[in-house]
Structure 1
Amino acid sequence: MTTQQQAYPPPYQYASNTQVPPNLYNDGSHPQPIPGQAWIQPMQAYPAPEQQPLDHPGGSSYNETHAEEGGGGGGFTTAERFSDKNIRRTFIKKVYIVLTIQLMFTFAIVCVFSFVDEVKQWVQENSAFYFASYAVFLIVFLSLACIDSLRRKHPLNIIMLGVLTLSLSYMAGTIASYYDTISVIVCVGITMGVCLGVTLFCVQTKFDFTKYIGVAFVLTLALLLFGFIAIFTYSDIVNAVIGLVCALVLVLWLAIDTQLILGGKKHELNAEEYIYAAMTLYIDIVYIFLIILAICGKG
């Protein structure tokens, strides 16, 4: 018996419990446990493979955790989390570099249309180009916002973003040409201060603006309706009130879009959506400038 135990050592490990091992040999015998210790089978010492976590610490698989967070979609307002902080920082840096180039170009056009009298007179006499640029802006904006392949396909996304920037810059410059030059400069400064303040607030606050995307969308639709009605009222008071509310709604959109880019809230943008992110921030800032110009500017 002793020779058989030495030739065929049992595949068991010692444990501190009191389980009795099953029959090991064909003759029905089993090895004697060492005093103070008992045998336990490997399947009892370690969980079965199907009971082990797959690839995510904490007892659940990555897919389950990912699904709980709301990820898995290809949309541009998902709750899909960045797996690495370096990815998020790179994404934010890319977005704000593109945005800076857009804003520098736009406000350069605004300055030219405001300071150069010949250009100012020409754009005011050729209003057809304004409506053409507005049509181009709407087409490109809706295409980039609704079609994933366009805003993710390089270099087509860069080209379309450039066309959108050019068209909106022409529109902003044309509108600014009807206002006093000093008013335009003051409104540019106010816009920069408002946008910087909103951005800094979104960086440090724990308040989640991304939860109120639906509210901002409803307010935007209501403003469009009241704005259409205000066209036929010709009331300065009504126009001023609508302009003020519109400015507040645009600031809310700027806060929402900023937190979508920064991440860490209920909703955040996918790391591949830097074109969409730059486009939304750019439109928010330019429209805030135009609203402030309409409220505070002198013709």
Structure 2
Amino acid sequence: MTSKLDHPPTYEDALQQPKNGNEPDQLQHGSAYPPPPSYSPGPGMYPGPPGYWAQPGMWAAPGSGMPSTIPTLSAGVPATNPGDMDGFLNTQWESTSVRHGFIRKVYLILAAQLTVTFSVVAVFTFVDPVKMFVIRYPGIYWASLVVYFMVYCILICCKEPRRRFPWNLVLLGVFTVALSYMSGTISSYYETKAVFLAMGITALVCITVTVFCFQTKVDFTSCGGFLCIAAILLMIIGIVTAVVLSFQYVPWLHMLYAAIGAIVYTLFLVYNTQLLIGNRELAISPEEYVYGALSLYIDIVHIFLFILQISGAATE
């Protein structure tokens, strides 16, 4: 039976005389492990606690040995140059301001065109001598149709004329006068009540479409192929309607064609408005303000003419 000490050794004695006799010699004589090799901070690094070195751009608080900021996931990766971010933000702001200026310019031109058109329609509707004159001489109507078609082809097919100032505004003015005369001539065949009703419905449709396009996140610029097919079908329906009506008058067929035409051109108005706004799959270049105003103007006038046919047939 082994003897047992009455009192355990003190803390200092236990450190000097470890229980395990197989420890290395340096531990039995009270010496510690060799100290770790010293480290010197690298370029751009500041000394901190053992095993930690502050990254460049981090300031070590005096006397604390700890950095004043918490390292992020980007520690050790070269930081983004603040000048690059400022340049990116400036570019975004400039592109947004350019787009807003482009939209204002297009709508100012469009407002001038619509003012001319509906002024001509009002004159041809309320002034009886003018109304009788355009009805008596339909050759002027066909001449305005030829001018309308020729100027339209020039503005659509040739980029140089619609970008060169002031020829682009001159061509756009000629186009506006021709289409205004055509619209006034067509309006002269209908009653005043039908013309006012068509104007009111057209204004309501245009305001609704514009607000919808500015608020919605649905992209209609990717539906260009569908709209082309709809335009071709509308043309075919128009030809069939003209042939049928030449033999026998069918009121509901004429109104059906007008209703389909109003819907198709309303979809075109949505499409062209989103092209104007941008931030979609497709957008109009800020240099094409004449093309933007031209496309919206044609859509609105055709919506008015189709609704005029419907309101005219309803009032009769």
Q: How many residues align?
A: 239
1:231-278 CA deviation, whole Å, 9 max, x = no partner? 111222222222111111100000011111111111110000000000
Distance 1:82 1:153, change over 3 A: farther
Q: CA deviation at 1:170?
A: 0.1
Q: What does 1:159-170 align with in structure 2 at a 5 Å threshold?
A: 159-170=170-181
Partner of 1:232: 243
Moved over 3 A (4+): none
Counterpart AA for 2:288? E
Q: CA deviation at 1:182?
A: 1.5
1:62-90 CA deviation, whole Å, 9 max, x = no partner? 9xxxxxxxxxxxxxxxxxx9952110110
Please say if residues 82 and 88 of structure 1, whose CA atoms lie closer than 8 Å, have aligned partners that are also in contact: no
Partner of 1:244: 259
1:24-74 CA deviation, whole Å, 9 max, x = no partner? xxxxxxxxxxx999xxxxxxx999xxxx99x987xxxx9xxxxxxxxxxxx
Alignment counterpart, residue 199 of structure 1, candidates 210, 225, 228 = 210
> Take 1:256 and 1:152, find their aligned partners in 2: how far apart are those partners?
22
> Take 1:199 and 1:91, find their aligned partners in 2: how far apart are those partners?
16
Partner of 1:14: 43
> Take 2:44 and 2:289, find their aligned partners in 1: how far apart are those partners?
56
Counterpart AA for 2:206? C
Indicate the SS of the match to 2:243. coil
Q: What does 1:248-267 align with in structure 2 at a 5 Å threshold?
A: 248-267=263-282
Percent of aligned pairs with the same amino acid: 39
The answer to whether the aligner puts 1:189 opposite 2:200 as a matched pair is yes
> Take 1:253 and 1:162, find their aligned partners in 2: how far apart are those partners?
22
> Take 2:84 and 2:208, find their aligned partners in 1: how far apart are those partners?
39
Distance 1:166 1:116, change over 3 A: same
Q: Which one has the largest radius of gyration? A: 2
Distance 1:215 1:197, change over 3 A: same
Normalised by the size of structure 1, how large is the TM-score?
Answer: 0.74
> Take 2:208 and 2:52, find their aligned partners in 1: how far apart are those partners?
71
Structure 2: state its 5+ residue gaps. Answer: 1-41, 46-50, 54-75
Alignment counterpart, residue 306 of structure 2, candidates 282, 291, 295 = 291
Counterpart AA for 2:257? I
Counterpart AA for 1:274? Y
Normalised by the size of structure 2, how large is the TM-score?
Answer: 0.70
